Structure 1
Amino acid sequence: MSKDTRPRPGTPEFRSWLLEDGKKFVDKLFSAEKPEGFEEDGYIAGPTKGEKLTPEKSAAEDAAIDKAQKRAHLKVEK
């Protein structure tokens, strides 16, 4: 059912529709593939591969961001 055809809130049909819709969402949520290392680390957000989190890979990018933030208050005049 779409939003146009869903039952009116407060009716028994709406309650059964809501439970059915919620069940679909929960099934999808808990059937998702867990990333490698989830059982040991327990992280639930971020990249699926842990090596993308290492500081060595992002040091140059972090330095560029810091430099841009330090210069953000300066204006370039020609």
Structure 2
Amino acid sequence: MNEETRPEPGTPEFREWLLEKVKPFADQLFNAEKPEGFEEDGYIAGPTKGEKLTPEKSVAEDVAIDKAHKRAHLKVEK
């Protein structure tokens, strides 16, 4: 079976075709290197270093975002 032909869903051939298509991605996903600190912290997604996630560093950014949302309805006229 070539890459261009897709079997009808629900058939045994479709299941085989689907497994062939997803196997390389699954192998890459499950064999990927785990970031440092994964075993202790259990990070699944995000930056490789947890220090970047601390709320203390993002407070100023959060305040700026909140102010921008509050002013979003205002129109600037020159």
Is the structural similarity TM-score above 0.5? yes
| Aligned residues with identical type, % of pairs | 76
Distance in 2 between the 1:67 and 1:18 partners? Answer: 48
The answer to whether structure 1 residue 42 and structure 2 residue 47 are counterparts is no
4+ long deviations beyond 3 Å: 10-15
Unaligned segments of structure 1, at least 5 residues: none
Residue equivalent to 1:59: 59
Q: In 2, are the aligned partners of 1:7 and 1:17 still within 8 Å (CA)?
A: yes
Residue-pair matches, total: 76
SS of the equivalent of 1:25 reads helix
TM-score under structure 2 length normalisation: 0.71
The answer to whether structure 1 residue 31 and structure 2 residue 31 are counterparts is yes
Q: CA deviation at 1:51?
A: 1.1
TM-score under structure 1 length normalisation: 0.71
Unaligned segments of structure 2, at least 5 residues: none
Distance in 2 between the 1:47 and 1:68 partners? Answer: 26
CA RMSD of aligned residues (A): 2.2
Distance in 1 between the 2:40 and 2:28 partners? Answer: 23
